[in-house]
Chain A
Amino acid sequence: MPDIVRNGVTIDDNFAEAFPMSGTGILITAPNAKWARQAGLTMTGFATSVIGCGCEAGIDREVPPQETPDGRPGVRVLLFAMSSKDAEKQLVNRLGQCVLTCPGSAVYSTVAGEFEIKVGDAVRQFGDKWQMSKVVDGRRYWRVPVMDGEFFCEGKVGLTKKSVGGGNLLIMGADWDKTMHATEAAVSAIDGVADAIAPFPGGIVRSGSKVGSQYKGMSASTNDAYCPTLRGVTKSALDADIGCVLEIVIDGLTDNAVREAMRAGLRAIIEMGPEQGARRVGAGNYGGKLGPFHYHLKDLLP
């Protein structure tokens, strides 16, 4: 394949293959930014991959007080799952265990979707009949008495089935430090893109997987073609100049959000150049037959 070089960084002529997902999200506010962030972090913990966590979730962005419905600082959390039923179950559970419990928190709908999930209408029962409902501008909210005052929660939040999960970038560099440097820059660029999250730890995954395994019953296993320590003994995708590979996985509420996030990440990596950052960028796919969304790296170049 003829590769493309930009600012010394080789861009594979390859594409990321992504899948439709059910996406939802909430805006969490709190008396200060620290506790809004804490609620968001707790709720999105153990939500890296749908395979083992039931959903993929992350903080889309911090929302300043002037943009939130109650004038308090907030964070916008997005959550993706393979079905709307899974998304509902995960959101309601995480809301009940992680946000209801977080001091000072309040929850608002932030995704306009074709469907609605009853969240407040489920969590309200924690109020043991002391909860009160308020309809403001046509939207129902619940006031649930808790030990620090009231947990305020919107009755329903939106859910869309037009979300996309699995956009990705494979960042390859000479060593761990340089590769990480480029990958961190890409993650912070992706953070600036609305409606998209990178659900893995700090937005980065180091254990990319391939489909199948030599063991029976394991559906996925290490992506040996991209493991630098196996370069000589396996059918490797890596040349001699690559010592480390990191991956960013991106989920977005829309096809376009994923595309823009990948574009932003790619630009940050290319701008940094190979001296301090990555030598090569690739993308993961399954041959193009499994997922309906294909993001070709050559179309996303700055």
Chain B
Amino acid sequence: MKPFTFTLRQEPPQRVDLSALAPDRLAGKSVAQIEEIEIGVTRVSTKVGDLFKISAGDLKSVRYEGGSSRFDLLGAKLLPGFEIHVEGDVGAQCGRLAKGGKITVAGSAGPHAAAGNLGADIEIKGDAGDFLAGPLAGELAGMAGGRIIVRGKAGARAGDRLRRGIIVIEGDAAEDLGARVIAGTIFCLGESKGRVGYLNKRGSIVLARGGCFGSTYVDCGAHQLTFARLLARSLKDHSAPAAALLSRKLRRYGGDTAVYGKGEILTPD
């Protein structure tokens, strides 16, 4: 069936909050009613109809023709079974608190992509901003489920306070990758700089390129891990390079022993 399409008419005059356009919330509404939804975040009104030309279709598959770095909260609270594709960029907090479903962004994403994600499968073909899958100010944990794959680079503090789920960064990661990780798995297939896995409690950080992780990470030898074989099979269709990395013999650095110390950094031997 034809997807439900929002075609961008013009660059938004202000940041817009797209959480009101979650597909399940649009069910039962007419195109005219949807066009009246207020998505501006200032005192100046911006309605859906001002920005988008709507072509009704199957809400299970929503498509944005054209994106913008002002598209905040796209796919927020998405439910399982729904799919959103954006032919362009998105702003902050893409996939925020999503319970399931699938989000594909052909461009880049702003900060806090996948913040609080609980089960959605998110793919960003461009770059991701700072705090990828990280918590908002005041939150105790970041992403708590699902999977996010960034084909490009990720900003600083990617995977901050990750609670559960899988993050794959196929490009480089900026400073402090996997800081304060609680649990879960992070891959970085490019360069990573700064303190990797700073205060990591029991998460796994898999790096294609090793380095010095500081004195609080302790070498535990190189091993063929059964869990890596299973994870590689699960990731094969989503990120072939991450799957290939897991198929290799991996050196395990246990840490961060400055805290709980039950986590690990894995790098090819």
Contacts and interface: CB of A to CB of B under 8 A. Distances in A.
Given A129-B262, A132-B262, A135-B145, A152 B230 contact: yes
Contacts, number: 49
A51 to B, nearest CB: 37
Contacts of A141: 227, 230
A80 B165 CA distance: 35
A70 B262 contact: no
A147 interface: no
Given A106-B226, A150-B225, A132 B234 contact: no
Interface residues of B, number: 21
A215 B269 CA distance: 69
B233 interface: yes
A141 B224 CA distance: 17
Nearest to A141: B227
Contacts of A106: 226
A194 B38 CA distance: 58
B6 to A, nearest CB: 30
Contacts of A138: 119
A72 interface: yes
B165 A135 contact: yes
Interface in B208-260: 223-227, 229-231, 233-234
B247 to A, nearest CB: 9
A152 B226 CA distance: 7
B204 interface: yes
Contacts of B63: none
Contacts of B183: 132-133
A137 B234 contact: yes
B96 interface: no
B223 A70 contact: no
B202 A132 contact: yes
- If over half of B's interface residues share one DSSP class (helix, strand or loop), that class is named, otherwise mixed; here it is mixed
Interface string A15-36: 0000000000000010000000
B227 A143 contact: yes
Given A130-B262, A135-B164, A149 B223 contact: yes
A145 to B, nearest CB: 10
A141 B166 CA distance: 14
Contacts of B19: none
Nearest to B224: A149
A136 B166 CA distance: 8
A135 to B, nearest CB: 6
Nearest to A134: B227
A84 to B, nearest CB: 27
Interface of B: 119, 145, 164-166, 183, 185, 202, 204, 223-227, 229-231, 233-234, 262, 264
Given A136-B234, A138-B119, A141-B227, 19 more contacts: A69-B230, A70-B226, A71-B233, A129-B262, A132-B202, A133-B183, A134-B185, A134-B204, A134-B227, A135-B145, A135-B165, A136-B166, A137-B234, A143-B225, A149-B224, A149-B225, A149-B226, A150-B223, A150-B227
Interface of A: 29, 69-72, 106, 129-130, 132-138, 141, 143, 149-150, 152
30 contacts: A69-B230, A69-B233, A70-B229, A70-B230, A70-B233, A71-B233, A72-B229, A106-B226, A130-B262, A132-B202, A132-B262, A133-B183, A134-B185, A134-B204, A135-B145, A135-B164, A136-B166, A136-B234, A141-B230, A143-B225, A143-B226, A149-B223, A149-B225, A149-B226, A150-B223, A150-B225, A150-B227, A152-B226, A152-B227, A152-B230
